[in-house]
Amino acid sequence: MRAFGRWCLLVLLAGVVLQLFFVARIASMAVIAPESTTFERSQIWQIVSKKGLLPWRQEWVDGKSIAPGLQRAVIASEDSVFTQHGGVWWESLEKAWEKNAKAKALAEQRAQRRPDAKTPQVKIVGGSTITQQLAKNLFLSGERTLFRKGQEMLITLTLETFLTKQRILEIYLNSVEWGEGVFGAEAAAQHYFRKSAARLSDWEAARLAVMLPRPRYFEQRAQSAYLASRAETIMARMGEVVLP
């Protein structure tokens, strides 16, 4: 029993040390830009392992060098209440949970009616805020477990405690994926439009914002009708967005 108690204590201490590490790293981000994120490194490793190349395109720029239109477009597309919540938008999470539960139940019903058919894969809807997405990209893996989600929540609240909304958005826009090996607004603007992020038009900004849920998919389908239609919708919403 004593050995088990010591083991539990060591696990607890390790957990505390890990949280303190996250706090220190996030606090430093108020003045020091993160060189890379866990998500970036994992994606680059996959590309190198598959192709033997290192196509890492990323250039950090401050928020003033990112077109306000792109900032508005991303908020309109990814997190319309970004300036209003404390990191987690519980209403959005509840809706996503209900939608996922309905999709899973429907898939199970179809599987019961056709037992010999392959069970359809259920598309999981996230409902994550920009701050939650940044928390995951900065430090966590892509696995879907309750422990990882709990850790994501703690990091999200830490980000909101130590950083301003403006800084959170700035780090997000400089590190989010916009294609295979393409990270950040400046690299995306150069890759797709051959111009700086500061010179993006509202239409170009909306196109980039729509790509964010599936950037590598839309990179190969830049002329898709959905992309154009969704960009029009985002443009219509951009005027209602208040920047932090």
Lowest mean pLDDT among 2-16, 35-49, 98-112: 98-112
For domain 2-86+162-238, which architecture applies? Orthogonal Bundle (1.10)
Domain residue spans in the chain? 2-86+162-238
Q: What is the pLDDT of residue 62?
A: 94
Cβ proximity of 72 and 238 under 8 Å: yes
Average pLDDT of every residue of the chain: 86
- Let me know the angle formed at the C-alpha of 211 by 69 and 123, rounded to the nearest 5 degrees: 135
Query: Residue 98 has what pLDDT?
Result: 54
The per-residue pLDDT for 124 is 43
Angle, helices 185-193 vs 165-175, to 10°: value is 40
Residue with tokens 């088990």: 4
Q: How confident is the model at residue 210 (pLDDT cuts 50, 70, 90)?
A: very high
Lowest mean pLDDT among 123-127, 128-132, 135-139: 123-127
Give the pLDDT of residue 149.
86
Angle between helices 130-139 and 165-175 (to 10 degrees): 60
pLDDT of residue 99: 56
pTM of the model: 0.85
* Reported confidence tier of residue 35, pLDDT bands at 50, 70, 90: confident
**What is the C-alpha to C-alpha distance for residues 153 and 161, in angstroms, rounded to an integer?**
12
| Per-residue confidence (pLDDT) for residue 179, from 0 to 100 | 93
